[in-house]
Amino acid sequence: MTPRRGFFLLLLATSPVWAGDTALVMLLQGRVTRASQPVPEAVEAFVKLRQGDVLTLDKDARLQVVYFENGRQETWGGGGKLKVGAAASKTISLPAPRVKQLPMVMTKQLAHTPALDSQGRSGALRLREADPGAVPESRGEALAEVEGNYLRLKAEAPPDDLGPEAYRLAALFELEQWRKVEQAVAELQRDRAANPAAQRLAALYLGALKDARDW
């Protein structure tokens, strides 16, 4: 049977953005929970949120989310509740958030951050072009663009902002640059050793790499 030229599905366990995910938790301090049955579940950094999710922030909590549709970044302080929307959150009992607009080049990649499924696996569901022709040149150009964007975003970001690293990892993973993903993860683990959110991000991509290689 002759392989079909064009696009094919590379399926790895995930929660894809088009299945209802609208936002990503970028930063979390203190305790934040999401309403669920039978008991509320704890929210962690780099968890994806869906429209309609109701989050409860403890008194000393701080939460930062970014919306995939428009790059809206919100930073909330506790305590109280908010409801996740399609492109913005709605306060239930919290003061208004600080809002910042992220570059869409970053936001589009953040939407592809791996997510754990119900079996604890991590990965990505995406389309890959099955045509090897002209790949080296186009991929080389794409890699150069990713690294250029990453350096620019990092230079503009606050020291504790993991957005540039999350962008870089998502873009490298999409380009199937497994060794470069490993190198970026190692840098993250080394440079942000005391940052739990950074270590979680590293763990998500180590899981995604394992699933990709086992596929």
- DSSP labels for 16-32? -GGGTEEEEEEEEES-E
Verify cis geometry, omega within 30 degrees of 0, for the bond prior to 79. Answer: yes
Per-residue pLDDT tens digits for 15-35: 344 458 999 999 999 999 999
Say if residues 152 and 183 touch (Cβ distance below 8 Å): no
Query: What pLDDT shows up at residue 197?
Result: 94
In sign, the C-alpha dihedral spanning 62, 102, 110, 181 is: negative
CA–CA separation, 93 and 149 (whole Å): 37
Q: Tokens in use for 16?
A: 């894809």
Question: Which of 2-6, 138-142, 190-194 has the highest average model confidence (pLDDT)?
Answer: 190-194
List Cα–Cα distances, 194 to 63, 74, 168, 189, 200, in angstroms: 19, 24, 20, 9, 11
Give the distance from CA 171 to its chain's centroid.
Answer: 11
Per-residue pLDDT tens digits for 111-169: 999 976 433 444 444 433 333 333 345 888 999 999 999 999 999 999 889 999 999 99
This prediction's pTM: 0.82
User: Counting beta carbons within 10 angstroms of the beta carbon of residue 6, is it exposed (0 to 12), middle (13 to 18) or buried (19 or more)?
Assistant: exposed
